[in-house]
Amino acid sequence: MHEFELIERFFAPLACRNVSVPLGDDAAVIECSGSMAVCTDTLVAGRHFLPDAPAEAVAWKALAVNVSDLLAMNATPRHYTLALTLPQADDAWLAGFVRGLDEAQHAFGCCLLGGDTTGGQTLTVTITALGELRGVPWRRAGAQPRDALMLTGPVGAAALGLKQLLGEVCLNEEMVAAQLKPRLPLDAWQALADYPVHAAIDISDGLVQDAGHMAAASGVGLRLYVEKIPMQKGVADWCARQHDWSLPLAGGEDYQLLLSVAAQTAARIEAAGLAVPIGEVIEGEGVSVLHHGQPVSLANGGFQHF
């Protein structure tokens, strides 16, 4: 199948219609009324997803990782481009991939501007996403001592789901679903527009690792309490049996948001059910983790891309 036939057959139906110049020319043209946030993520088979992962799941995750970054910057997803490297142009795989993209872009409220397809040895998916800022951007910098640290949802299920896919544990399909089709905190993010946020970060590389990025950017220390971190019962039970809290702390791929907000704001956010407090910002540097008052150390702080 030729490249242009592939694009017309599979990807043209996903294209944006409400732009000045849509898919089909050398470049798309969009009109912007305000500031835009732009991010890019690349997913490589065998590194970011299992080589036999369902095509629908690969597509969903490829768009979700980018949308999660936009949410962390306080930007509404609008458009994305796709660069796809295929070992072979398999019709069944492409049909599944497009179904996954179609479901994801409808869930996240964005559409395809264009991109590129080519052949190569390793299946690789690169998406660049564009979002419209709703007010001021949220930054990693800005956390202040005595701020509360809040998390928008549970962590650890995706990492435990990966263990199940690898045959290391046998639990339930809920964990596998968290790994293959991660859910983003879209409803909470929408409502958080009403609250002042000092700093924010997507924690897809692992809670402790990404908390460390916020601490470094803000010039402060962060303290996390394991017993306050939300996690599904299956995750909490597994960690308690293993005496190992590395999955929620460092497993990654949870696509929740870590927020730093004033203490009085945190009380309002918690009362609204939008996020839960899991720690505080302190003078100093780095990230410390306590479990019922006892320090927790991690051999691995989070996902490494190299």
Annotated binding site for Mg(2+): 26, 40-41, 69, 116, 202, 205
**Which positions make up the binding site for substrate?**
48, 253, 303
- Look at strands 75-86 and 111-119 and give their pairing: parallel
Structure-block tokens of residue 258: 């870590």
Annotated binding site: 26, 40-41, 48, 69, 115-116, 140, 202, 204-205, 253, 303
Judge whether 74 and 138 are in contact, CB under 8 Å: yes
DSSP summary character for residue 77: E
Residue 230's nearest CA partner among 265, 272, 278, 274 is 278
- In sequence order, the 6+-apart residues with CB closer than 8 A to the CB of 153 are 183, 185, 188, 230, 254, 256, 275
Please list the residues that pair with 151 across neighbouring strands: 258, 276
The token duo for 11 is 């990807």
Residue with tokens 């263990």: 163
227-231: which pairs have CB atoms within 8 A and are 24 or more residues apart? 227/291, 227/292, 228/276, 228/277, 228/278, 228/279, 229/151, 229/155, 229/278, 230/151, 230/153, 230/154, 230/155, 230/276, 230/278, 231/154, 231/155, 231/156, 231/157
Alpha-carbon gap, residue 183 to 178, rounded angstroms:
7
Binding residues for ATP: 115-116, 140, 204
